[in-house]
Amino acid sequence: MGRAVPDTHGEILAAAARRFTVTGYRGTSLQDIAREVGCSKATVLYHFANKEALLAELMAPAIEVLRSLDDQLNGLTGAAAQEVAAQGFVDLAVRFRQEIAVLRGEFPELLCQPAFAHIQEISDRLRDALAGHSDRPGARIAALVLLAGISEACAEFADIPDDELRLALLTLARRAVEPVDAPVPHPPTTEDKDS
Amino acid sequence: MGRAVPDTHGEILAAAARRFTVTGYRGTSLQDIAREVGCSKATVLYHFANKEALLAELMAPAIEVLRSLDDQLNGLTGAAAQEVAAQGFVDLAVRFRQEIAVLRGEFPELLCQPAFAHIQEISDRLRDALAGHSDRPGARIAALVLLAGISEACAEFADIPDDELRLALLTLARRAVEPVDAPVPHPPTTEDKDS
DNA sequence: CTTCCATCTGACCGATCGGTCAGGGTCTGA
DNA sequence: TCAGACCCTGACCGATCGGTCAGATGGAAG
């Protein structure tokens, strides 16, 4: 009865997600998506203004969670920032495996599109937090390796249950981040307005 | 004098590498490459049979080194395999930063092309070695995260000197691989035909 | 029955893609 | 001087891309 409602919009969204994960955003044509849904290409463009809008709607939930993680990170320093960043990103990556798989590799190019204007800055801050806000090259490199590797792993291990993948990644992340040996974000000579 | 030789072939190769690293293989047209070189698209296709052949010649040296690493790995087990895999891959990734940046993200699709027929198997074996040939999900996941992350890091940190990047990545890899606590590939109850 | 609106479609558009081809320069060696 | 190899090019090809548009369909409201 109720299920007789076609919900073409949602079907297109789901089909696009499936195709994007296999052949990438650039490598997937609107025709491909339409074929998978079983409608015409014009129908796809009736439900979505253009290809970019389709991608934007697909990524919206993941981006929302990423933003909230960015908020949580605000103000944290040192090991606390590392732990929250690791836990938050692993959780996000596991939950939005498919969305992350979509962006795989095309990240830098897709970020240029206006729909993803601030994602670059957010992920930069996330990387910075995972490095414990350290400016040592080793810490920054480790943070990048982890973020990129976790994304890739989530896209790859689609068959592993969420809990198991999350645990493995979090364990790895805690083992791999470069430890911030001294909790000295700034020596007590400067003004400490919040302590 | 001698430098007057144009060497268009090499210039095209270099220009292609530059463009591919920025906009990816798919995202770079032969026209783009020709424009960067300052010749016509037809000239590009005079020096290279097609776009795929251009990519293949670009990747050939890196693939050669990857193959030799694969040979070195043959027969190694446990921690020894992990160490050789980590060291070998970090070295390869740092040396062939640009080549690896080219493949960034388009790896799975590009591997389908006949020129890269066996790369998938080799990288699978490399991942397996980095996991110490363990079948524990944690070890396999850590290996994948490292391989993917190291590739991404090499593509990203183009400004860091080779030595510094290599040291940081190797330190990270040794810290991050899941340790193979006991060198027991198989308990002595089953038949041991080679020991 | 008529009107209206949401949904959907085939036909079509200009742009760009990878790739082909005939031919024009230029240099060399006979 | 001439033949031929080498390098390079503009013009062109069919295919496919994202996107537009006029119109067909069908159900609900008046």
Instruction: Report the residue count for chain A.
Output: 195
Residue of chain B whose Cα is closest to the Cα of A159: B137
Determine the nucleotide nearest to A43 by Cα–C1' distance: C8
| Near-strand D residues (CB closer than 7 A) | A 28-32, 41-42, 45, 49-52; B 6, 8, 39-43, 46-47
Q: What are phi and psi of A66, to 5 degrees?
A: -60, -40
Instruction: Check CB contact under 8 Å for B141 and A23.
Output: no
pLDDT reported for residue B5: 61
What pLDDT digit, counting tens, does each position of A183-193 carry? 444 444 444 44
pLDDT reported for residue B116: 84
**Between A22 and B145, the higher pLDDT residue:** B145
Cβ neighbours of residue B59 closer than 8 Å, sequence gap 6 or more: B99, B102, B103, B115, B116
Instruction: Check CB contact under 8 Å for B153 and A172.
Output: no
pLDDT average per 10 residues of sequence, chain B (195 residues): 68 96 92 97 98 96 96 94 97 94 78 82 96 95 96 92 96 91 49 42
The CA distance from B149 to the nearest CA of chain A, in Å, is 4
Six-digit token pair at A131? Answer: 């490095």
Six-digit token pair at B5? Answer: 């030789």
For chain A, give the mean pLDDT: 89
With CA atoms as reference, report the closest residue to A136 among A82, A178, A190. Answer: A178
pLDDT reported for residue B105: 67
Distance CA A132, CA A79 (A): 6
pTM of full prediction above 0.85: yes
**Chain A interface, best mutation among B141, B177, B178, by max A CB count within 10 A:** B141
Residue type, B33: I
Residues of B in contact with A24 (CB under 8 A): 26, 105-106, 109
pLDDT reported for residue A103: 82
Q: Which residues of B104-136 are buried (b: 16+ CB within 10 A; e: fewer)?
A: bbbbbbbbeeeebeebeebbebbbbbbbbbbee
Residues of A in contact with B24 (CB under 8 A): 26, 105-106, 109
Residue B162 to residues B86, B153, B154, B174, Cα–Cα distance (Å): 16, 12, 9, 18
pLDDT reported for residue A105: 67
The CA distance from B173 to the nearest CA of chain A, in Å, is 8
**Chain A interface, best mutation among B28, B145, B147, by max A CB count within 10 A:** B145
Report the 3 state secondary structure along chain A.
Answer: CHHHCCCHHHHHHHHHHHHHHHHCCCCCCHHHHHHHHCCCHHHHHHHCCCHHHHHHHHHHHHHHHHHHHHHHHCCCCHHHHHHHHHHHHHHHHHHCHHHHHHHCCCHHHHCCCHHHCCHHHHHHHHHHHHCCCCCCHHHHHHHHHHHHHHHHHHHHCCCCCHHHHHHHHHHHHHHHCCCCCCCCCCCCCCCCCCC
What pLDDT digit, counting tens, does each position of A31-87 carry? 999 999 999 999 999 999 999 999 999 999 999 999 999 999 999 999 999 999 999
Instruction: Check CB contact under 8 Å for A171 and B138.
Output: yes
Share of chain A above pLDDT 70, in %: 89
